[in-house]
Amino acid sequence: MSNTRNNISATLLQNWWKKRTNIKELRKIHKYLSISLSNEDLQDLSNKCHSITKRCKGDGAGLSGGTLIDMLLCDFFAERLPLYSEYHEGESDMLLCGVPLSQKKINGKSTIALDWSKNEVKEPREQRVRFASNIMIINLRAERWWKNNPTHTKSNIKIAYNDIIPSGIYLIDKQFCKYFVGLSSNNKTDTLIDNQFVYIMLKRSISQKLYIDLPSPNKDLKFNILNAFL
């Protein structure tokens, strides 16, 4: 009798989650990206991002390099994806296949935020809807984030934290984030996502097969800002 009750509960939970998840539209995006971006396209993106990262070093260079890579990603998607358009509404940065996405770029183990400026928040903090958009994370460096599990884990999700996170394009369901990703704050934002939660988001994307591999750089390109002008 208890097994029957457990099976019914599990089925109800699955049905409840299916009604609220955004996996179907993310699978559509994943299929579109897989078809539209060739291996050569992804290799070219990897090489160019690596070139910018190498060129931008020193105090404050991380921010300027990140801005340049964000600009590169926008132009890259616009040139190769007819169903892409910029869309700056709330947390969203783009529309892909008609679906709003928030774009985040990381270079291995990282902390991210839904927005970085407290001054840009117009409505009261308690009225804002968090994780209003599905998220695309572009990870430029494959690495093991922890040799062992962190001493203090911040989530009740039971996973191993010592897997290698590949470089790639990750799609993450906003509903999953609403229920399982915690937000914190610092002097720049009230929507900070700690690296443990970023790791969980990436692992979720991999488990849902919503991840596209980004190859390691194989060409040493020279980045010259003068070549950016038409």
Rounded distance, CA 18 to CA 29, Å? 18
Specify whether the CB–CB gap between 105 and 69 falls below 8 A.
Answer: yes
Q: Which amino acid is at 85?
A: S
Give the DSSP H/E element, type plus range, for residue 86: strand 84-89
Spell out the domain ranges in the chain: 23-228
Rounded distance, CA 188 to CA 124, Å? 16
Confidence of residue 188 (pLDDT cuts 50, 70, 90): confident
Q: Which CATH class is domain 23-228?
A: alpha beta
Q: Could you give the C-alpha distances from 79 to 39, 73, 84, in angstroms and in order?
A: 16, 10, 9
120: left (phi over 0), alpha (psi -120 to 50) or beta: alpha
H helix runs in 21-102, sequence order: 23-36, 39-55, 61-80
The pTM for the full model equals 0.87
pLDDT average, residue stretch 171-199: 93
* Ramachandran angles phi, psi of 209, nearest 5°: 60, 45
In sequence order, the 6+-apart residues with CB closer than 8 A to the CB of 139 are 106, 107, 108, 165, 166, 167, 168, 170, 202, 214
Residue 55's pLDDT is what?
80
- Which residues sit opposite 103 in a β-bridge? 136
Residue 37 DSSP symbol: S
| 28-79 pLDDT tens trace | 999 999 999 999 999 999 999 999 888 887 665 567 777 889 999 999 999 9
pLDDT average, residue stretch 73-101: 95
